[in-house]
Structure 1
Amino acid sequence: MYSAAMGTNDTSERLVGAARELLWERGYVGTSPKAVQRAAGAGQGSMYHHFSGKRDLALAAIRRTAEEMDATAGAALDGGGTPYERIRAYLLREREVLRGCPVGRLTMDPEVIADPELRAPVEEVLGRLRARLAAVVREGPESGGPNGPPDPEEIAATIVATVQGGYVLARATGSPAPFDSAVRGLLALLAPLAPPPAR
């Protein structure tokens, strides 16, 4: 009984993993049930045993992608170090830049965006990311220009927009250089969040 349950769970995991990869690569329309079954090494019966159809499987895959993004961001932003160091760790973490962001890719998919249930995990994880970044910014020194300290929510939105825009520029040029350049520029702008050097 134990091994049978494990086999069932393993098939479900393979289907979700295959759907995640295909959604990232091809989008919702380009991800057919047959392609998922082939990639997962699972039969049609297995797929429909675990999921009611393509949309149900896609929702599980999107939720898993969102969970992974949440965990990865949390590992950098909830760790030790100054606010600047944690944001720097988040920006400089290893990414498959030329593949783009798996969550950002979903925001450009009309079928995902048009479906409130499929869109919800995407919207929620990006909202949590902005909130987490804003919380880290609030911990930093309150330095700023003539208009006072920067607004944490605006800084958080700028960080997310820079990362997502960096992916687009990198994919458009076929090189990670624009992404790296955008990150370096953003870190220079965020330098006021760094603590002053010890005297």
Structure 2
Amino acid sequence: MSARERLVESARELLWERGYVGTSPKTIQERAEAGQGSMYHHFASKQDLARAAIDRTAEEMREAVDAQLSGPGPAVGRIAAYLRRERDVLRGCPIGRLTQDPDVMATPTLRGPVEETFAWLRARLAAVVQEGADHGELESSVDPDSTAAAIVATLQGGYVLARAAGASEPFEQAIAGILALLDARTVR
């Protein structure tokens, strides 16, 4: 892995673990086993490196979600598979955790990919819900946009509840709850 790649990967891990403020350039360099000169050769600032790290995380998240939601099977089944996929619940969502970082949210360059990723996720889920309605799997009265927003809010809120409890059960309950609500709108 090149020095640039090691810096981006180290920044990704540290942003997830510590947030933007808690991630110093020195810590990134140490984890990446790269010197200060190397870091500033590839990136003009910590903010530029953080943007590259956030972009990479967002891209990987979109690819994984899209692959799962584009798979075979009924719409509700694909949504359920996405929500129930294996994840490190107590670490939280690497993009969602950034919303709790005031410096990320106050910096348009860093906030942009976070906002775009959640907009994409809501739109992608809304498309799957619409597909379910169009194929008669879900009631035609289901609002795809509201349903997608509820799914994303439940997923992100589930992470918060699990982290607060120090256990994955609240996350699992939140997912079971949203899936039960979705199931209630399934055409039998």
* TM-score normalized with structure 1 length: 0.89
The letter of the residue matching 1:136 is: V
Q: Which residues of structure 1 form unaligned runs of 5+?
A: 1-6
The CA distance in 2 between the partners of 1:100 and 1:36, in whole Å, is: 21
The CA distance in 1 between the partners of 2:24 and 2:70, in whole Å, is: 37
Partner of 2:148: 156
RMSD, aligned α-carbons: 1.4
Q: Which residues of structure 2 form unaligned runs of 5+?
A: none
CA offset digits 1:81-114 (Å, max 9, x no partner): 1101110111011111000111011111111111
Matched pairs, number: 185
Q: Over alpha carbons, which structure has the higher Rg? A: 1
- 1:194 CA displacement: 4.6
Matches within 5 A, 1:1-199: 10-141=2-133, 143-144=138-139, 149-192=141-184, 194=186, 196=188
* TM-score normalized with structure 2 length: 0.94
Q: Describe the SS at the equivalent of 2:19.
A: helix
The letter of the residue matching 1:27 is: G
CA offset digits 1:91-144 (Å, max 9, x no partner): 011111000111011111111111111111011111010000000001114554
**Among the aligned pairs, what percent are the same residue?**
62
User: In 2 relative to 1, CA 139–73 (structure 1 residues): closer, same or farther, beyond 3 Å?
Assistant: same
Q: Which runs of 4+ in 1 moved over 4 A?
A: 192-195
The CA distance in 2 between the partners of 1:99 and 1:153, in whole Å, is: 27
The range that moved more, 27-36 or 67-76, is 67-76
The CA distance in 1 between the partners of 2:114 and 2:67, in whole Å, is: 19
